[in-house]
Amino acid sequence: MTHEYIDLQTVAHVKGAVRLPGSKSISNRILLLAALSQGQVAIVDLLASDDTAVMLAALRSLGVQWHEEKTATGTIHHVTGVAGVLPNKSADLFMGNAGTAIRPLTAALAVIGGDYTLHGVPRMHERPIGDLVDALNAAGTNVEYTGNPGYPPLHIKQGKITTQRLSVRGDVSSQFLTALLMVAPLMARDHAITIDVIGELISKPYIEITLNLIRRFGVKVEQNGWTSFTIQPGQIYQSPGTIHVEGDASSASYFLAAGAIGGGPVRVEGVGNNSIQGDVRFAAALEQMGAQITMGDNWIEARANGPLKAIDADFNHIPDAAMTIAVAALYADGPSTLRNIASWRVKETDRIAAMATELRKVGAIVEEGPDYIKVTPPAAIAAATIDTYDDHRMAMCFSLVSLDGALRKGAVTRINDPKCVNKTFPDYFSAFAKIAQ
What architecture does CATH give domain 24-244? Alpha-beta prism (3.65)
Tens digit of pLDDT for each residue in 362-371? Answer: 999 999 999 9
3-state DSSP assignment of residue 83: coil
Do residues 277 and 271 lie in contact, with contact meaning Cβ atoms separated by under 8 Å? Answer: yes
Task: State which H helix or E strand residue 170 sits in.
Answer: none
Chain centroid to Cα 232, Å, comes to 29
In the structure, what pLDDT confidence band is assigned to residue 1 with cuts at 50, 70 and 90?
very low
> What are the tens digits of pLDDT across the range 328-357?
999 999 999 999 999 999 888 999 999 999
Q: What kind of architecture, by CATH, is found in domain 5-21+246-435?
A: Alpha-beta prism (3.65)
DSSP string covering 288-343: HTT-EEEE-SSEEEEE--SSBPP-EEE-TT-HHHHHHHHHHGGGBSS-EEEES-GG
Instruction: Supply the pLDDT for residue 143.
Output: 98
Asked whether the beta carbons of 326 and 375 are under 8 A apart, the reply is yes
d(CA 309, CA 29): 36
Listed by start position, the domains of the chain span 5-21+246-435, 24-244
What does the pLDDT read at residue 404?
Answer: 81
pLDDT classification of 39: cutoffs 50, 70, 90: very high
Measured between alpha carbons, how far is 27 from 51 in angstroms, rounded to an integer? 9
Q: What average pLDDT does the structure give for the chain? A: 95
CATH topology identical between 5-21+246-435 and 24-244:
yes
Instruction: Tell me which of 380 and 210 has the higher pLDDT.
Output: 210
Q: What is the mean pLDDT of residues 164-168?
A: 96
Q: Which amino acid is at 33?
A: L
> E strands, 212-262, where?
222-224, 228-231, 242-244
At 54-67, the pLDDT tens digits run: 999 999 999 999 99
Identify the pLDDT of residue 2: 47
Ramachandran category for residue 409: left, alpha or beta (phi over 0 → left; psi -120 to 50 → alpha): left
Could you tell me the pLDDT band of residue 411, with boundaries at 50, 70 and 90?
confident
Q: Is the pLDDT of residue 206 over 50?
A: yes
pLDDT surpasses 60 at 242: yes
Distances (CA, A) of 267 to 20, 158, 254, 286, 294: 10, 50, 11, 14, 9
Quick check: 93 pLDDT over 70? Answer: yes
**C-alpha to C-alpha distances, 248 to 20, 245, 253, nearest whole angstrom:** 6, 9, 9
Instruction: Return the amino acid letter for 85.
Output: V
Overall average pLDDT of the 371-388 stretch = 95
Share of the chain above pLDDT 70, in %: 98
d(CA 179, CA 164): 17
Res 437 pLDDT > 80:
no
pLDDT at position 348: 87
Residue 412: the pLDDT is 86
pLDDT digits (tens, 9 = 90+) for 256-311: 999 999 999 999 999 999 999 999 999 999 999 999 999 999 999 999 989 999 99
pLDDT given for residue 216 in this prediction: 98
Task: Show which residues are catalytic.
Answer: 320
